[in-house]
Amino acid sequence: MRIAFDYTYGVGAAPGNPRVAVLWDRGQVGIVQVRKLFAPSDLDKLIVVRRPGGGKAPEPIPDEVREAYHIVLHEGDYLPDEEYRALLAEPGVYIAPRFTEGIGMSFLEALAAGKFVVAHKDATMDEAVEDGMNGRLVDMRNLTRIDLPATDPATRLRKAEERHARWKEDESRILDFFAALGDHPPCKSAWTVRSIVRFVPFLFEGLHMRLKVS
């Protein structure tokens, strides 16, 4: 499952309600962490999504916690993109589900939609989330209560657009570098060059995450 917003800044933007949060519970960041981050009075609703996708099985949610946090629980099979897009249009706060993301896309897509992302202060969330600007970086293993978003959605979307523009500039410079190598066989195909450029960062991110959890 993935967040169904297009990873094209400004497309499918849905900043949502800052008093509604969404968590894709994959067994790492779960209800225990949410209760330390937010008091029941901080949120009007907490949407918890539990779908197939690997990871440790989530813990049961006590009835009193469901009532206190007005939890709307979505369990079962995968949702079609249209239904999932509708589900995620309402929340303004996205809680990243893992301690590290080697090739994580869901929190990036949430940022692109203008949502306020709460994430563990580790790779690769800390490379995209600017603490206090478009989200909050926290230590999920030693949590204290945090404030709800102070920045407006337009500011968060502008920051996402700026970051995406810088990424495209870096990609262009790397492609130009490979092209300048001239007759080197792997560089004759633009598709090959583009594939190399995009694969190498993912390779290092995956290695970085593996070293951290080993």
Per residue of the chain (214 residues), what is the pLDDT tens digit?
Answer: 333 334 443 445 778 999 999 998 888 899 999 999 999 999 999 999 887 665 677 788 999 999 999 999 988 777 777 787 788 889 999 999 989 887 778 888 888 888 999 999 988 888 889 898 889 999 999 999 998 877 787 778 777 777 777 777 777 777 777 677 655 555 445 555 555 555 566 555 555 555 554 4
Q: What is this structure's pTM?
A: 0.73
Domain boundaries, the chain: 1-214
Pairing of strands 91-95, 135-138: unpaired
Dig out the tokens for 133 from the structure: 């600007």
* CB-neighbour burial class of residue 130 (10 A; exposed 0-12, middle 13-18, buried 19+): middle
**Tokens 């407006």, residue?**
152
Dig out the tokens for 114 from the structure: 């203008």
Q: Classify domain 1-214 by CATH number.
A: 3.40.50
118: Cα separation from own chain's centroid? 9
Radius of gyration of the chain (CA): 19
CA-based nearest residue to 45, from 15, 76, 75, 67? 67
